[in-house]
Amino acid sequence: MSKKPKGQSMWGGRFSDKPSDIMQAINVSIGFDSRFAAQDIRGSQVHANMLAAQKIITKKDNASIQKGLKQIASEIEAGTFPFRDEYEDIHLNIEARLKEIIGDASGRLHTARSRNDQVATDFRLWVRDALDGFDAQFVKLQKVLLKQAEQNSDTLMPGFTHLQSAQPVTFGHHMLAYLEMFARDRARFADCRKRLNECPLGAAALAGTPYPIDRKATASGLGFERPLANSLDAVSARDFALEALSAASICATHLSRLAEEIVIWTSAQFNFVSLSDKFTTGSSIMPQKRNPDAAELVRAKVGRIVGASNALTIVMKGLPLAYSKDMQEDKEPVFDAFDALDLALAAMTGMIADLKPNKKVLAAAAGAAFSTATDLADWLVRELGMPFRDAHHVTGAIVAIAEKHGKALHELDLNDMKNIDKRITDGVYSVLSPKASVASRRSYGGTAPVNVRKQIRRWKSRLK
């Protein structure tokens, strides 16, 4: 039996010397791709079973391989597995350890596959597992948003455009807006999962294999919908990771927007909501401070996640088919981005559950800055038959009077409004309060409490 030269790697048959220290440093990936261990073992177990079923390896060798892989999985779980840089990556580390456990039968495991299709399979399995985990996190976040909406279906607050008070809305309506955003994020992740759910295993290095393998069996055994149809595409495609990072970037943007609102709302100037000690920190010099650090850190995570998406895009943009070593740089951006998103989702779920709206402050702010001016214009259109542009002008003049007297619109004397248009009656007061304004917004998707409660019932049913 031939032996590899001392100091050589498992692929070193034609090499007479070992790699330089610098080559070793740039080439080794075990420091990060050890995260694929569980996926790599699953892939190997299914591959070996298929080889035995196709009579490419013996049942005896397969039994040894399965026993050895099971022991390796136990060692990894127990933290006793000897990860070694000399074997470069997780695939060769597991194969080397398998040989130590079962001997020469281990060498038959790599029949009819390459590290190219092996890593592509592991990566897809890992991303798929991560997407499944995110789906569960989305449900948790949606449920706490739904609970806040239910508890505040008629809690008044100002709605903003340009961060200026615009029209009154309800706090429940505001929470449901984010619930809808995260529902789309969840759908994007599910769509991404569906598209990535094809199996590269069996594509080998790039051209397929002469062995009579059963790719449908390995795909099915790993829970994939089908094998990838083109061997070149199978080993070189990383668009599934790019798509996952794109969906993660959009989700992180939504998380960042909500985090920004929490930062604003918890400030002394707004005082719309409060967070407990669980999600705030103090200052090393200012004892009165309560800083919304969790929200600020969630807001910052979008930089890491979008950066990861850009990084992988740039890695892939100029690669010819099929595999290039550049693709070793595909994993760390995904790991980093998904770690960041995982933590951000958990932190946001905790904060929303912890959030306490200051209802009195919110209600007062809901009526500030003449927020019911549009309701006045709409009343002029409905009751007086006035063209909206004329109503807009009349309302602006009335707002100017209210501003001059330092009064809210519903506090103005009727005669002040009649001085602008004598047809105005006291019926106008029915729309000038924030509560009346909100109650009137009953069009589909509007902020009226009756609408909010209807949407809450719909989401309760969907999230069961």
Query: 342: buried, middle or exposed (CB in 10 Å: 19+, 13-18, 0-12)?
Result: middle
Could you tell me if 375 and 440 are in contact, meaning their C-beta atoms sit under 8 angstroms apart? yes
Beta strands in 163-314 (DSSP E): 164-170, 198-199, 226-227, 273-274
3-class state of residue 291 by DSSP: strand
CA distance 139 to 345: 11
CA distance 78 to 70: 12
Q: To 10 degrees, the CA torsion angle through 294, 157, 142, 123?
A: -50
CB atoms within 10 A of CB 287: 7
**DSSP per-residue letters across 19-78:** PPHHHHHHH--HHHHGGGHHHHHHHHHHHHHHHHHTTSS-HHHHHHHHHHHHHHHHHHHH
Task: Tell the burial category of 127 from Cβ atoms under 10 Å away from its Cβ (0-12, 13-18, 19+).
Answer: buried
Which residues are known to be catalytic? Answer: 162, 283
Cα–Cα nearest to 120, from 210, 198, 38: 198
Identify any residues that bridge with 60 across adjacent strands, giving them in sequence order: none
- Rounded CA separation 384/425 (Å): 10
Using the Cα atoms of residue 100, residue 72, residue 102 and residue 52 in order, give the sign of their dihedral: negative
- Residues 338 and 247: their CA atoms lie apart, in Å, by 11
